[in-house]
Amino acid sequence: MSENNSVNHDELVEDNSQLIPQHIAIIMDGNGRWAQQRGRKRVVGHKAGVESVRSTVTKARQIGVKALTLFAFSSENWLRPEAEVTVLMDLFMFVLTREVKRLHKNNIKFQVIGDLSRFSEKLQMKIAAGQKLTENNSSMVLSVAANYGGRWDIANAAKELARKVQQNECTLEDINENTLSQHICLADLPELDLLIRTGGDFRISNFLLWQAAYAELYFTETLWPDFNEQELKKALSVFGQRERRFGLTGDQVKST
């Protein structure tokens, strides 16, 4: 995907609120390669990526994005070298300790989606405390996907519906796309509008499979630690030029 265009990013993002996606998700890829390119250990890249998280959250809130979802740790990431996983868990704990108060100060609701049972009790308690502190905030919802997989999400929703059928809380005939969607993670947030992946790969890696059904996809070769405010504006200006048809023809969209 080409990122070069003559559009004034500031005008697109700041002067036309209709072009602002209500819900953005980001696969934050490239931390390890960023560090390796500099002759450093991969963990250095993960730490550098924290600053990109901070700046992206800040800018998204400023321009009126209602929900931002970040892919921090997939269910497949447990297969990485044990030392790297340990560092990632420690970094997660550190960021939670330091950043949640900042989120709360800026009226941002924080939540974690995924199977948290595999995390340490200490980390689970830290997540719960952060969610409790910010639960009534309303300027934006920051969701962090940790030990998350899109297939797990769908299977978990199906399991919950099966439990409800078993307990006569609903019938088999009640199950459709709408009822399943109500049990998928992020069901209470706006529909996903824009899915960004940094790092140069062209896949969504089992992230928000259900939610991304009609999302616009944006891929950039920029590594996550280099993803700054200008890079976000590039993604938003491309989004603003897309024709979102949702299964209709272009002529139908233009006539509505």
Positions annotated as catalytic residues are 29, 77
Q: Which residues contact 59 (CB under 8 A, 6 or more apart)?
A: 229, 232
What is the spatial distance between Cα 117 and Cα 226, in angstroms, rounded to a whole number?
32
Give the chain's radius of gyration (CA, Å): 19
Query: Distances in Å between the alpha carbon of 145 and those of 5, 73, 113, 129, 248?
Result: 32, 6, 5, 17, 31
| Contact partners, residue 226, CB within 8 Å, separation at least 6 | 30, 34, 52
* Nearest to 25, CA basis, from 176, 147, 145, 167: 145
